[in-house]
Structure 1
Amino acid sequence: MAQLRPPKYVVRTEASVTKEIIGAFIDWESTDMVLLNLLLATLTDVAIEYVIGCKTAHEEWTNLVDIYASVSKSKVNHLKIELHTIKKGTDSINKYLLKLKGI
């Protein structure tokens, strides 16, 4: 589960915002920066294009999901069609199984 970003500044009971930064925010920001850089380090040059300018790991991850999830769904549908329509025909069982493995 994603950790929600805590508020940055302390709010006093008299409803005033201070310039004092909350410790939980500093911890969250540090962890988020590590995750952001870890994701960047593992991406291909093509994938990096989709996350340039992201300020949080959540934003980076969401961009990647938006790009690659739709590609994956269309690929899955294509593979399903291929598997449903493949025919053995006159092929030997070994050749037929190799075709299935290829798909």
Structure 2
Amino acid sequence: MSAMADSCFPETPDVLMSSICNLMPIRLESTNYFIWTRLMSTIFTAHGLLGYVDGSIKTPAKFALNDRGEPTTELSQSYRLWRRYDAGVKVVINATLSSSSLPHIIGPDTARDLWLTLERRFTPMSNFNIIKFRSDLHTIAKGTDPVNVYVGKLNEIRTKLAGFLVVVDDAEMIAHALRGLPHDYEAFRNSITTRTEPLPLNEFYVLLLAEESSILAGNQ
């Protein structure tokens, strides 16, 4: 194998193929496409393989040329090498899919085709989930839940959004939490919204728990 061929078509390292399941903490499903593609892109970049999925490594001429420069029926050496290494990238991708994602590997011929197929399938689903979880944050209410349960629900939504690479900062989380508090917490809500200094989320939760204790004690 020539140095030029190695340079044009980087090979998928055996160590990556054997360890990808350990390197990837998640399997691709409808709720984590954006973070999956970010992690996979980083892995491929680290191993010089990103060109197989982003299109920068082009498919070489499939057939070898004869002495007159005409295509023959024999596969070219470049094409055989590319085909082998491209298949290695597909193996790596397939190893990171959940059982619900596996049907989408049927049909795509190259690693690039597979990458685009997954993108077309999961991007709309991801966008739908982002809208849904954003809506959940806007409409969540404490109701009769204890504060620790209410806070747990808020943090669960934040974690789900993080899976789509959507960052909800502390100030926004506090605003959503305040919006969902019942009338008993009106004085607390006013005290928080009139603060001039930024309030860390963990400190806000401590204050909210203390306010709950005070309200419960006053109702006894």
Shorter chain as denominator, the TM-score bin is 0.7 to 0.9
Mapping 1:1-103, distance limit 5 Å = 1-2=54-55, 3-11=57-65, 16-88=70-142, 93-103=147-157
Q: Size of the alignment, in residue pairs?
A: 103
What is the identity, as a one-letter code, of the residue corresponding to 1:48? L
Percent identity (aligned): 28
Q: Distance in 1 between matches of 2:96 and 2:154?
A: 31
Q: Distance in 2 between matches of 1:48 and 1:89?
A: 41
Structure number with the higher strand fraction is: 1
Residues 31-50 of structure 1, C-alpha deviation per residue, up to 9 Å, x if partnerless?
A: 11111222223322221112
Deviation at 1:29, TM superposition (A): 0.6
What is the identity, as a one-letter code, of the residue corresponding to 2:62? K
What is the identity, as a one-letter code, of the residue corresponding to 2:86? D
Residues 36-90 of structure 1, C-alpha deviation per residue, up to 9 Å, x if partnerless?
A: 2222233222211122233222222222222111111100010111112224567
2:89 and 2:111 in contact (8 A); partners too: yes
Deviation at 1:92, TM superposition (A): 5.8
Change (3 A) 1:45 1:88: closer
What is the identity, as a one-letter code, of the residue corresponding to 1:77? I
What is the SS of the residue equivalent to 2:104?
A: coil
Question: Which consecutive segments of 4 or more residues in structure 1 shift more than 4 A?
Answer: 11-15, 88-93
RMSD of equivalent CA atoms: 2.7
Instruction: Give ranges in structure 1 of 5+ residues lacking alignment.
Output: none
What is the identity, as a one-letter code, of the residue corresponding to 1:70? P
Instruction: Give ranges in structure 2 of 5+ residues lacking alignment.
Output: 1-53, 158-220
2:63 and 2:75 in contact (8 A); partners too: yes
What is the SS of the residue equivalent to 1:18?
A: strand
TM-score (norm 1): 0.75
Q: Distance in 2 between matches of 1:89 and 1:62?
A: 44
Higher relative contact order, structure no. (Cα contacts within 8 Å, ≥ 6 residues apart): 2
The answer to which of 91-100 and 38-47 deviates more is: 91-100
Q: Distance in 2 between matches of 1:39 and 1:76?
A: 24
Deviation at 1:102, TM superposition (A): 2.2
